Structure formats: C-alpha cells, structure tokens
Amino acid sequence: MFLLAIDTSGRQGSIALARASEHSTADSDVEVIEVVRLTGGTFSAELIPQIAALLSANKRTKYDLDGFIVVSGPGSFTGIRIGLAAVKALAEVLHKPIARLSMLEVIAFASGKRGRVLTALDAGRGDVYIGEYSIPAHGEGPREQILTRTEFLEFAQARTLVTTDASVADAALGSGLPIELLTSISAADIVRLGWHKIRSGEVVTPEQLEANYVRRTDAEILERHKF
C-alpha cells in the first residue's frame, strides 16, 4: 500500500510518500520513501506541483495511492485549508480512506510516553493549544482546548507535558513544571500515527474531513473581551 501524508498546519510544511504492508501487525511496519519540505507562505502554489513531482520521482501516479494522511490542525487557518482541500480532492476522485490527525496527538504519539500525556503548542497572542491523551487509548477520548499562558501553567500542574515549541517549554520550566521538548516532528511520526488509524479503521470520507482549529467558544471570546 502506498500512502501520501500532508502537513501544512505550521510555519513550514511537508509531504511524504510511504509504503506499508496490508498484512502488517505493527504501526512501525511502514516505510517513509521520501519527504519533501514545503515553505510556509507558499503552500497554495507549492502543494499540488510538489505532490506531482514526488510521485513522478518515485515512478508512481496518484492511481497508485491507497490512502491519505493529513494533519487537520491546530495551526494556520490558511495552511490547514490548503492541505485539506488537496486531500479531499484526491480522496474523492480515487475513493481512498483518509486518516485525519491532530498535531497535538502526533506529538503525544511521537513522545513514546504512556499513560495520560499532555501536549502543548504555541497558539500565538499569549495562548497555548492543549491536548490530553491516554496512551494506549482506554476508551476515553482526547480533549483539546486553547488556554491563556496563565491558564496553561495552572492546568499543567503535576502532569506529563510534551511540546515542540521552545517558547512553551521555557514558560513551563520558568514555572517549575517538568516538560519534555521534542526537537521536531518528522514525517515518519505523522505516517506512523496515520497508518495506525488506517489499520484501526479510524478513517473519514472527504465529506467528513474537517479542520481542527481548536477555537474558543463564542461565550469565552465575549468573556475575554468584556470591559
């Protein structure tokens, strides 16, 4: 099986072509064939040509693809929309499954930790995206939200905390919270989690594929801006 993974949620992005065995019994039984980096701010112009070039360089066409993996957020509104639009179009034409990932979940998965894991990403404007996960899953679904830095530091007390953002790590360490800073998230991390979801049947159709912006509710926004 050939899989195409796309991440356009951050300042920089990437696409990856991977190969997995239909009969594999482990998430690690997937090989990243090639990764192409995408420059932030140019996703709309780069994405489709780079996908075509990636497939051509590996002597493949879109008809060889058996599934798609896409990071649906949180992150750049524009970047996320571009990545999702490309996957929706390809999956609809080819009738192939889509694994939809949260970058917060990718970080938890990539950390290698077990139990309750808290992940964090800088959301800008003094806010932090937060994700809570149980690894391995035990029926309790993930919880994702956006908090102010102050709320985040209070919320993260006595928890296993992982991030890829140095600014978030510095804030946590400055408050005496234990935190692990991952140097980066690779396409291999995204592919492994995506393959896990495809193997587990956790897939969506193009019509079901939606962005994961992790926004505040209208009530929270009004409360925050009260005079």
The per-residue pLDDT for range 190-204, each reduced to its tens digit, is 999 999 999 999 999
Q: Which residue segment(s) compose the domain that 72 sits in? A: 2-102+185-200
Q: What is the pLDDT of residues 6-52, one digit of tens each?
A: 999 998 999 999 999 877 666 668 999 999 999 888 899 999 999 99
Tell whether 205 is covered by a domain.
Answer: no
Residue 167 has pLDDT above 80, yes or no: yes
Q: Structure tokens of 179?
A: 């935190």
Residues 126 and 174 placed together within one structural domain of the fold: yes
Residues 8 and 98 placed together within one structural domain of the fold: yes
Q: Residues 116, 205: contact at Cβ < 8 Å?
A: no
Tell whether 7 is covered by a domain.
Answer: yes
pTM confidence score:
0.91
CATH at 125: 3.30.420.40
Distances (CA, A) of 72 to 86, 196, 210: 12, 16, 7
Q: Residues 83, 7: contact at Cβ < 8 Å?
A: yes
Q: How far apart are CA 156 and CA 152, in angstroms?
A: 6
The strand ranges marked E within the chain are 2-7, 13-20, 30-38, 65-71, 98-101, 115-124, 127-135, 143-148, 160-163, 180-181
Looking at the 3D structure of the chain, how many domains does it have? 2
